[in-house]
């Protein structure tokens, strides 16, 4: 059965704002699956999260985070390192980037990553360092990955650590 969600939940799942979804609709980039006479937008959550893909999901997510916009150069270095590592291993990948404290559990990118993990939409998660995910609580995310049979790869300055392999 198709699960339709309102714009707020769809925005959270994608890690964007409701205004972004409205803009995408205006531009014709992403149209709601249903729109009521009153203007309420509904989206197919499975379609948004890519569940129409074949069941042999082979997507790798690289997650990059810095504490502030002042560290944008560091964020770009992380993104480059993650992309090169994934490409070198021949993995189809997408990079999720976040700005915010490692103690902020409500970052848009982190929430999007958690949706991918909980819905088992990815094969592996790649991080440059364990603390890029969260300062405290990374182990909980790793347990979720293990439960969903998602491999976790941590690149520590040349040493690569594979969890849940």
Please list the active-site residues. Answer: 67
Cα angle for residues 53, 55, 60 (degrees, 5° grid) = 70
The C-alpha atoms of residue 148 and residue 77 are separated, in whole angstroms, by 29
The C-alpha atoms of residue 66 and residue 109 are separated, in whole angstroms, by 12
From residue 6, give the alpha-carbon distance in Å to each of 12, 33, 36: 10, 10, 11
Q: Which two tokens mark 56?
A: 């042999």
The C-alpha atoms of residue 73 and residue 70 are separated, in whole angstroms, by 8
Close Cβ partners of 31 (under 8 Å, ≥ 6 residues apart): 25
Closest CA to 95 of 104, 86, 103: 86
């Amino acid at each position: 059965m198709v699960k339709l969600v309102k714009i707020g939940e769809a925005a959270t799942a994608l890690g964007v704002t409701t205004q972004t979804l409205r803009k995408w609709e205006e531009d014709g980039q992403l149209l709601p699956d249903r729109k009521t006479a009153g203007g309420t937008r509904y989206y197919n959550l499975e379609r948004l999260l890519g569940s129409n893909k074949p069941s042999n999901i082979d997507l790798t997510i690289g997650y990059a985070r810095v504490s502030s916009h002042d560290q944008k150069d560091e964020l770009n270095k992380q993104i480059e390192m993650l992309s090169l590592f994934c490409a070198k291993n021949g993995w189809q990948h997408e990079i999720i980037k976040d700005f915010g404290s490692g103690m902020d559990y409500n970052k848009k990118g982190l929430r999007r990553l958690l949706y991918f993990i909980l819905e088992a939409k990815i094969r592996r998660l790649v991080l440059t360092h364990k603390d890029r995910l969260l300062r405290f609580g990374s182990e909980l995310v790793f347990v979720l990955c293990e439960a969903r049979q998602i491999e976790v790869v941590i690149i520590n300055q040349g040493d690569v650590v594979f969890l849940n392999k």
